[in-house]
Amino acid sequence: MSTAYAALSLPLRREILDQLRAGPATVGDLAEALGVPQAVASKQLGILREAGFVQARADAQRRWYALLPEAFTEVAQWLEPYRWLWEDRLDRLGDRLDQMQEHDQMQEEEQS
Amino acid sequence: MSTAYAALSLPLRREILDQLRAGPATVGDLAEALGVPQAVASKQLGILREAGFVQARADAQRRWYALLPEAFTEVAQWLEPYRWLWEDRLDRLGDRLDQMQEHDQMQEEEQS
DNA sequence: TCGGTATATTCCTTGACGGGAATATACCGA
DNA sequence: TCGGTATATTCCCGTCAAGGAATATACCGA
């Protein structure tokens, strides 16, 4: 359960991460939002924290959990070499494949 | 073990995928390249196939396994909404460190 | 100090996975 | 048809994860 991938293997943990996209939340908030006992939420948050997906900031008795780039970056980087696999299949329609020019000239393209 | 994420949780399976980036390979090839028994390779390939990462093409007794976009796309799409997390951190690292305390203020308590 | 609140941890049971060994299945060439 | 080759499947076992229940820990307000 140490790796980031293993942490993502449980749907509940992915739901927690999805939930945290709305902003930091406490264990109780997440437990209620996802309909699971407090102990379960706490345990899974511990695993997500250990894997580097989230971070806890103490505020008296409560812990505000928030997303952390760490593990996401790890997964994204592993996935990167496979990008061609699905990319030149998704834009199969426009043929305007100017492949991988990620952070080069991303000034004004908000009308995608 | 049904989801793509669960399939990625085992290092050996990720190694198989990495290996397949070089092109299609047979079970025996992969087993030898990764130093595992044939049965182990076959079993893990079955899991990867079930998860949609690879595809098997029969050629007499051998099976040529090749990468398949399916599951990669699934993972990539799930990861996409989190992209801002690590992107505007690689770009402007060091300025956006106060993202997670929008609606509460810290009162200089690093030594309590 | 004393509840009351919020979270973490432990114990326990059930179920599933990973890997080894052996066997089964499918196919080739002669 | 008969080995020989390549792969899949089954059985077994050690290990570990998930969840529930209960408890422990830490902190607040009065």
Average pLDDT over residues B77-95: 75
Strand order in the sheet with A25-26: A25-26, A62-67, A54-59
Measure, in angstroms, how far nucleotide C13 C1' is from residue A2 CA. Answer: 23
Alpha helices in B52-112 (DSSP H): 69-79, 83-90
Q: Tell which residue, A55, A69, A47, has the closest CA to residue A3.
A: A47
B100 to A6: CB separation less than 8 angstroms, yes or no: no
Mean pLDDT score of chain A: 82
pLDDT at B109 over 90: no
How would you classify residue B63: left for phi > 0, otherwise alpha for psi between -120 and 50, otherwise beta?
A: beta
pLDDT tens for A20-56 read 999 999 999 999 999 999 999 999 999 999 999 999 9
* A57-77 tens-digit pLDDT: 999 889 999 999 989 999 999
CATH topology assigned to domain A4-70: Arc Repressor Mutant, subunit A (1.10.10)
Tell me if B9 sits within 8 A of A5, measured CB to CB: yes
In window 55-74 of A, residues with CB < 7 A from nucleic chain C are 56, 61-63
CA distances from B93 to A103, B82, B85, B98 (A): 15, 17, 11, 11
The CATH class of B4-71 is mainly alpha
Residue position matching structure tokens 């806890």: A56
d(CA A83, CA B67): 12
Count residue pairs from A and B with Cβ separation < 8 A.
74
